[in-house]
Chains A and B, each alone.
Chain A
């Protein structure tokens, strides 16, 4: 048993075995999943990018319609008035041409065309078919006839689309809108100054003008142009608080649809381009400048005023020798005294008076929406120029500048910019103050007296319920270094004077007396037959009164806020 003894030794088993996954197989599996994931990820990425692209790109519709210029080089945006009526519109029209070489059956074609266009001269068309390769059968065809033509299915009939610029109001806005050339480029008026905007814009451009008011003013101007046989006439109606021009008329005018080449200078825009010595309408500025400089008050007396004075070799006299020698400053304005105005201007002084006229815009360049604006001449204000300028002679300006000046005189003395383009936020925005506080009210009060008192020169414009104030101006026109018999008769009015809203200026170029016209008095019964004097008081004032009679209810109900 002893021999069979054996030892049992127990030792810790140490093994080198470590469990490991078979790496090769696993790698293959993982790479396969990653690859599939990668493929799907790429597909997903492509779709995502495509989706983003689809979402961000503009639709075909927008691409076509937002860039009208790229679609049609002749495109121009429409122009509308303040009420959305079309003043200028781009319309498409189709011309039908005939390509004679493509005619298959001439007899059949002519027969069909005869049914569509029964009034056409087919003998002439037959001649053209024989002699010409191509000619226009019908221009600006109606949609109905276009459809009929297309139904014929004849390939010799070639439709050509054209773009037309139409002015549905014809002459009414000719001086404002201007004209375009054959390539649809603006050559005058707003068509020129807004050329780039009109080509790029998809929206219509809205103006401050009112079609109905413009029509009424033009109609009256035409009527009185015939009565007073004037060479031309002009009128402007403007909101004194924001410079919005509601009407701008200059006669003679033209039809922009006809695309005439106008070379006659009589067709200039008399509101913006024509410069005139406007006479006594300047006395309101003389009065206002003296009040502003505090050298006078309305009741300041001027005693022993002579009937005439001399400046160098020139004699300055009164228009009405009946004018009293003792007058207050306000009476000088109301009775339109020349010598009194000279005395007032002399109190202000040359430099200050010139600066005042520049500040109110009558002697400074004006920044306007159309390019047909006369440049302002710079005048040296010596002793004699100061004297003549005080009653509106020796210096020339435009009707537009005059309207701007009267707006500043009546709106409390605030700067304004006359404009034809409607801006949404342009209402009653107060700009820089030009006149001291209280001056405007004193000037407006004096202007009212010119219309509603017996001494005033503008009684024919005292339209009931509108409180019109204003100043007349009768100026001899300079010709060859001297003054001629021809006159420029102007009436610059503001209304209602208790709360000035509008300035309205009427100018008649070279009017003549009318023997047959009957003036109806506004203050008393009866009237007067025939023009007594060829002055603004007997011409422009009468026109302004008649115009305000007509446009007043529209202005009152549409443009004046009533509490």
Chain B
């Protein structure tokens, strides 16, 4: 009986090792593929961000503005800025001031 149990344990260990190894390899492959995809996407994102940063830089935007619009850009007055407070179900519009009174 003891011998049988021992053999069974050994067999189970071998079997579990094989299964675990196989599963780990599969998971590792999946992780590798996922990471490779992320790397490619990251690289693409970086390039697109770079392009976006360049095309939407203030210098460029002003260029486009003068190229496509006749109106001048108007400088925003701090008095025209309001705080829209939606906390506590109360929609309140407050004046925006940076100075202490």
What are the residues of chain A within 8 A of B53 when measuring CB–CB?
85-86, 168
9 A-B residue pairs with Cβ-Cβ distance under 8 Å, sorted by A, are A51-B17, A59-B32, A216-B58, A466-B78, A498-B99, A499-B98, A553-B76, A553-B77, A556-B81
Q: How far apart sit A499 and B14, CA to CA, in the bound complex (Å)?
A: 72
In the complex, what residue of chain A is closest to B83 when comparing beta carbons?
A562
Q: How far apart sit A54 and B23, CA to CA, in the bound complex (Å)?
A: 12
What are the residues of chain B within 8 A of A78 when measuring CB–CB?
46
Please give me the 9 A-B residue pairs with the lowest Cβ-Cβ distance, nearest first: A498-B100, A61-B35, A47-B17, A215-B58, A40-B10, A168-B54, A496-B99, A553-B76, A465-B78
Q: Are A499 and B99 in contact (CB under 8 A)?
A: yes
What are the residues of chain A within 8 A of B31 when measuring CB–CB?
59
> Is A37 among interface residues, defined by CB-CB distance under 8 A?
yes
Q: How far apart sit A496 and B100, CA to CA, in the bound complex (Å)?
A: 9
Q: How far apart sit A170 and B77, CA to CA, in the bound complex (Å)?
A: 29
Q: How far apart sit A41 and B7, CA to CA, in the bound complex (Å)?
A: 11
> Is B41 among interface residues, defined by CB-CB distance under 8 A?
no
What are the residues of chain A within 8 A of B65 when measuring CB–CB?
none
Q: Are A550 and B14 in contact (CB under 8 A)?
A: no
Q: Are B36 and A89 in contact (CB under 8 A)?
A: no
What are the residues of chain A within 8 A of B6 when measuring CB–CB?
33, 37
> Is A531 among interface residues, defined by CB-CB distance under 8 A?
no
> Is A480 among interface residues, defined by CB-CB distance under 8 A?
no
> Is A335 among interface residues, defined by CB-CB distance under 8 A?
no
In the complex, what residue of chain A is closest to B58 when comparing beta carbons?
A215
Are A499 and B81 CB-contacts (below 8 A) given A47-B17, A168-B53? no
Are A169 and B98 CB-contacts (below 8 A) given A33-B6, A43-B14, A54-B24? no
Are A44 and B81 CB-contacts (below 8 A) given A166-B50, A168-B53, A216-B58? no
Q: Bits for A41-56, please: 1 = Cβ < 8 Å to B, else 0.
A: 1011001101100110
Chain B positions within 8 Å of A, measured between CB atoms, are 3, 6-7, 10, 13-14, 17-18, 20-21, 24-25, 28, 31-32, 35-36, 39, 46-47, 49-50, 53-54, 57-59, 75-79, 81, 83, 96-101
* Interface set, chain A 25-68, CB cutoff 8 A to B: 33, 36-37, 40-41, 43-44, 47-48, 50-51, 54-55, 59-62, 65
Are A51 and B32 CB-contacts (below 8 A) given A85-B53, A465-B97, A557-B81? no
A60 CB contact (under 8 Å) in B25, B32, B54, B75:
B32
Q: Are A465 and B58 in contact (CB under 8 A)?
A: no
Q: How far apart sit A549 and B74, CA to CA, in the bound complex (Å)?
A: 12
* Interface set, chain A 546-563, CB cutoff 8 A to B: 549-550, 552-553, 556-557, 560, 562
Query: In the complex, how many residues of chain A place their beta carbon closer than 8 angstroms to a beta carbon of chain B?
Result: 46
Q: Are A550 and B54 in contact (CB under 8 A)?
A: no
Q: Are A50 and B21 in contact (CB under 8 A)?
A: yes
Chain A positions within 8 Å of B, measured between CB atoms, are 33, 36-37, 40-41, 43-44, 47-48, 50-51, 54-55, 59-62, 65, 78, 85-86, 89, 91, 166, 168-170, 211-212, 215-216, 465-467, 496, 498-499, 501, 549-550, 552-553, 556-557, 560, 562
What are the residues of chain B within 8 A of A168 when measuring CB–CB?
50, 53-54, 57
In the complex, what residue of chain B is closest to A501 when comparing beta carbons?
B98
Q: Are B57 and A169 in contact (CB under 8 A)?
A: yes
Q: How far apart sit A55 and B35, CA to CA, in the bound complex (Å)?
A: 17
Q: Are B20 and A59 in contact (CB under 8 A)?
A: no
A86 CB contact (under 8 Å) in B17, B24, B49:
B49
Q: How far apart sit A549 and B77, CA to CA, in the bound complex (Å)?
A: 8
What are the residues of chain A within 8 A of B98 when measuring CB–CB?
465-466, 496, 499, 501, 556, 560, 562
Q: Are A59 and B35 in contact (CB under 8 A)?
A: yes
A40 CB contact (under 8 Å) in B14, B77, B101:
B14
Q: How far apart sit A169 and B57, CA to CA, in the bound complex (Å)?
A: 8
Q: How far apart sit A212 and B96, CA to CA, in the bound complex (Å)?
A: 21
Within the complex, the shortest CB–CB distance from B53 to chain A, in Å, comes to 5
Q: Are B47 and A552 in contact (CB under 8 A)?
A: no
Q: Are B78 and A51 in contact (CB under 8 A)?
A: no
Within the complex, the shortest CB–CB distance from B22 to chain A, in Å, comes to 11
Q: Are A61 and B39 in contact (CB under 8 A)?
A: yes
In the complex, what residue of chain A is closest to B55 when comparing beta carbons?
A168
What are the residues of chain A within 8 A of B39 when measuring CB–CB?
61, 65
Q: Are B24 and A55 in contact (CB under 8 A)?
A: yes
Q: Are B46 and A89 in contact (CB under 8 A)?
A: yes
What are the residues of chain B within 8 A of A170 when measuring CB–CB?
59
Q: How far apart sit A549 and B75, CA to CA, in the bound complex (Å)?
A: 8
**A47, A55, A78, A560: residue with the most chain B Cβ atoms closer than 10 Å:** A47
B78 CB contact (under 8 Å) in A50, A65, A556:
A556
What are the residues of chain B within 8 A of A85 when measuring CB–CB?
53
Within the complex, the shortest CB–CB distance from A562 to chain B, in Å, comes to 6
Are A51 and B14 CB-contacts (below 8 A) given A33-B6, A169-B57, A215-B57? no
Within the complex, the shortest CB–CB distance from A24 to chain B, in Å, comes to 19
Q: How far apart sit A89 and B53, CA to CA, in the bound complex (Å)?
A: 11
Q: Are A215 and B100 in contact (CB under 8 A)?
A: no
What are the residues of chain B within 8 A of A560 when measuring CB–CB?
98
Q: Are B58 and A212 in contact (CB under 8 A)?
A: yes
Q: Are A40 and B13 in contact (CB under 8 A)?
A: yes
Within the complex, the shortest CB–CB distance from A144 to chain B, in Å, comes to 14
